[in-house]
Amino acid sequence: MVNLNQLLAKCKSLNHVKQLQVFIITLGYTQNQLYAFKLVRFCLVTLDNLPYGRLIFDCLSSPNVYLFAAMITGYASQSHHRSAFLLYQSMLRQGSARPNQFIYPHVLKSCPEVFESHGTALVQTHIMKSGFGQYPVVQSALVDSYSRFRSDVGSARQVFDEMSDKNVVSWTAMISGYTRNGQFSEAIYLFKRMLLLAHGGQHLENRPNQVTAVCVLSACSHTGMLQLGKWIHSYIYKNALGPDSFVSNALVDMYGKCGSLKVARRVFDRTSGKSLTSWNSMINSYALHGQSNDAIGVFEEMIRCGADVRPDEVTFVGLFNACTHGGLVEQGISYFDLMTRGHGIEPQIEHYGCLIDLLGRAGRFEEAMEVVRGMRIEPDEVVWGSLLNGCKIYGRTDLAEFAVKNLIQIDPNNGGYGIMLANIYGQLGKWDDARKVRKVLRERNAYKTPGCSWIEVDNQVYQFYSVDKSHPRTEEIYQILDTLVGFIILKSSCN
Q: Is it the case that residue 51 has pLDDT exceeding 90?
A: yes
Alpha helices (H) in 313-364, listed in sequence order? 313-326, 329-337, 349-361
The sign of the dihedral angle between the CA atoms of 318, 268, 215, 191 is negative
d(CA 314, CA 283): 10
Residue 191 is assigned to a structural domain of this protein: yes
Q: Which of 199, 206, 204 is nearest to 175 (CA)?
A: 206
Q: What is the pLDDT of residue 198?
A: 81
The answer to whether 393 touches 363, Cβ cutoff 8 Å, is yes
Burial of 152 (0-12, 13-18, 19+ CB in 10 A): buried
The answer to whether 349 touches 382, Cβ cutoff 8 Å, is yes
**Mean pLDDT along residues 369-392:** 92
- Contact partners, residue 454, CB within 8 Å, separation at least 6: 223, 224, 461, 462, 463, 464
Q: Is it the case that residue 392 has pLDDT exceeding 60?
A: yes
Amino acid letter, residue 117: S
**Mean pLDDT along residues 459-479:** 74
Q: Write 362-365 long-range contacts (CB < 8 A, 24+).
A: 362/327, 362/329, 362/390, 363/390, 363/393, 363/394, 364/329, 365/390, 365/391, 365/394, 365/396, 365/399
d(CA 127, CA 261): 48
**Mean pLDDT along residues 341-349:** 94
Q: What is the pLDDT of residue 234?
A: 93
Q: Is it the case that residue 452 has pLDDT exceeding 70?
A: no
Most confident of 62-71, 299-308, 396-405: 62-71
Q: Specify the 3-state DSSP secondary structure of 201.
A: coil
Lowest mean pLDDT among 102-111, 161-170, 202-211, 380-389: 202-211
Number of domains in the chain: 1
- Calculate what percentage of the chain has a pLDDT beyond 70: 93
What letter would DSSP give residue 339? I
Residue 348 is assigned to a structural domain of this protein: no
Please give the model's pTM, rounded to 2 decimal places: 0.81
Q: Specify the 3-state DSSP secondary structure of 453.
A: strand
Q: Which of 39, 108, 124 is nearest to 72 (CA)?
A: 108
Residue 428 is assigned to a structural domain of this protein: no
Residue ranges making up the domain that contains 242? 166-272
- Contact partners, residue 419, CB within 8 Å, separation at least 6: 437, 438, 441, 448
Q: Is it the case that residue 446 has pLDDT exceeding 80?
A: no
d(CA 156, CA 177): 8
d(CA 495, CA 491): 6
* Predicted confidence (pLDDT) per residue in 410-429, tens digit: 887 777 777 877 887 887 78
- CATH number of the domain residue 216 falls in: 1.25.40.10
Q: Which of 486, 478, 460, 464 is nearest to 225 (CA)?
A: 460
Cα distances (Å, whole numbers) of residue 390 to 90, 363, 425: 56, 7, 15
d(CA 146, CA 127): 14
Q: What is the pLDDT of residue 120?
A: 93
- Contact partners, residue 51, CB within 8 Å, separation at least 6: none
Mutual orientation of helices 349-361 and 381-394 as an angle, nearest 10°? Answer: 0
Q: What is the pLDDT of residue 461?
A: 65
Q: Is it the case that residue 205 has pLDDT exceeding 90?
A: no
Q: What is the mean pLDDT of the chain?
A: 89
d(CA 196, CA 202): 9
d(CA 491, CA 155): 54
- How much helix, strand and coil, in percent to the nearest 5, is found in the chain? 70, 5, 25
Q: What is the pLDDT of residue 156?
A: 96
Residue 75 is assigned to a structural domain of this protein: no
Residue 361 is assigned to a structural domain of this protein: no
**Mean pLDDT along residues 89-97:** 91
Residue 283: half-sphere exposure toward Cβ, Cα within 13 Å: 28
Element (H, E) at 288: helix 276-288
Q: Which of 244, 235, 179, 187 is nearest to 207 (CA)?
A: 235
Phi, psi of 19 (to 5 degrees): -65, -40
pLDDT band of 409, cuts 50, 70, 90: confident
Q: What is the pLDDT of residue 255?
A: 97
Residue 20 is assigned to a structural domain of this protein: no
Residue 251 is assigned to a structural domain of this protein: yes
Q: Is it the case that residue 402 has pLDDT exceeding 70?
A: yes
d(CA 53, CA 48): 9
pLDDT band of 39, cuts 50, 70, 90: very high
The answer to whether 146 touches 170, Cβ cutoff 8 Å, is no
**Mean pLDDT along residues 388-394:** 88
Most confident of 204-218, 304-318, 321-335, 432-446: 321-335
Q: Which of 285, 287, 281 is nearest to 309 (CA)?
A: 281
Q: Is it the case that residue 1 has pLDDT exceeding 60?
A: no
The answer to whether 168 touches 206, Cβ cutoff 8 Å, is yes
What is the DSSP pairing of strand 452-457 with strand 460-465? antiparallel
The sign of the dihedral angle between the CA atoms of 421, 423, 425, 428 is negative
Residue 199 is assigned to a structural domain of this protein: yes
Lowest mean pLDDT among 282-296, 424-438, 451-465, 473-487: 451-465
Q: Specify the 3-state DSSP secondary structure of 331.
A: helix
Task: Please give the sequence-ordered ranges of beta strands (E in DSSP) within 345-431, or none if there are none.
Answer: none
Q: What is the pLDDT of residue 85?
A: 95
